[in-house]
Amino acid sequence: MAVPELTPSLLHTNSELPTLIAGPSLGTAALPLWGPAVPYLKDHFQVIAWDLPGHGASKPSRQEFTLAELATGVTTMVEALRSNGVIADGSKLFYAGVSVGGATALQLAVDHPGFFNALSSICSAAKIGTPEGWTERAELVAKAGTPTMVAGSAQRWFAPGFIEKEPEISASLLHSLQDADRFAYAHVCGALAGFDVREQLSTATDPILAINGAQDEVCPPADAQFIEQHAPKGQAAIVESAGHLAPAEAPEETAALLADFFLTS
């Protein structure tokens, strides 16, 4: 086990603004997932996204890691950005992540209270799927590669009709899945197999906004409501038009929810 090294992508730089660290979904790279939302975020935040190991700009992991170690990888990356002057000392710092990136938000709230001024879990949950399901997927992808996930992900990720409505956005997201390193993808599955903070949410003191898509079959609205009910400073919001990738599917609405929550926290 080891803390993975994560590579940031500077989607919008302006160190005079508060910084939003944007986290990924399993199988997606930072740019295709968060790029559609940047035009609606850039007036409020400096936007820095990070890629999972073996996805986008991040190099593949060589050994297994936990969600706790992934969360520590995020704080390590942020500290490096701060020491390099990309993030100004004393500026407000926010975090929003999708699916496994949203699970990372909850892990950050549990393990690193106060590191961020506020966090958002998007299209995620305090526990996602089953350990058995994640272990089976890890074994399949490690053996057969990430292209085996493309057809199923196209069904799970998007609300009905989105692929036809936005072919370029959906194609770029599915291409990032196909290009992901199969062993690193399997390592993320292993981390999700061991992830469950349902009992720990009551100890989280950070403001947390759970945003889930009304048409998300992976993490339905009930998962956002669970976070709202169990995190002391939890709130929930539902995006009616979104499936599992809200920043790409409903970028304007997702950005507005984030800006409203973060800038009043």
> Is residue 106 over pLDDT 80?
yes
Query: DSSP state, 24?
Result: P
- The answer to whether position 185 is within a domain reads yes
Across the range 64-73, mean pLDDT stands at 97
Q: For the segment 164-210, what is each residue's pLDDT rounded down to a tens digit?
A: 999 999 999 999 999 999 999 999 999 999 999 999 999 999 999 99
- The answer to whether position 126 is within a domain reads yes
The partner residues of 21 in beta bridges, in order of sequence, read: 48, 95
CATH number reported for the structural domain that contains residue 102 in this entry:
3.40.50.1820
Both structure tokens of 210: 């759970």
Q: How far apart are CA 89 and CA 100, in angstroms?
A: 28
**pLDDT at site 213:** 98
Q: How far apart are CA 205 and CA 121, in angstroms?
A: 15
CB 40 within 8 A of CB 12: no
- The answer to whether position 143 is within a domain reads yes
**pLDDT at site 18:** 97
Across the range 129-135, mean pLDDT stands at 96
CB 125 within 8 A of CB 244: no
**pLDDT at site 244:** 97
**pLDDT at site 165:** 95
Q: How far apart are CA 44 and CA 259, in angstroms?
A: 7
- Total count of domains within the chain: 1
**pLDDT at site 145:** 93
- The answer to whether position 1 is within a domain reads no
- The answer to whether position 119 is within a domain reads yes
- The answer to whether position 175 is within a domain reads yes
- The answer to whether position 232 is within a domain reads yes
> Is residue 139 over pLDDT 90?
yes
Q: How far apart are CA 42 and CA 178, in angstroms?
A: 29
**pLDDT at site 1:** 58
**pLDDT at site 104:** 98
Lowest-confidence range among 40-44, 45-49, 89-93?
89-93
Both structure tokens of 262: 């973060």
**pLDDT at site 87:** 95
- The answer to whether position 2 is within a domain reads no
Beta strand segments in the chain, E? 7-12, 19-23, 46-51, 93-98, 118-122, 208-213, 234-239
- Which domain range does residue 256 map to? 7-262
Q: For the segment 212-243, what is each residue's pLDDT rounded down to a tens digit?
A: 999 999 999 999 999 999 999 999 999 999 99
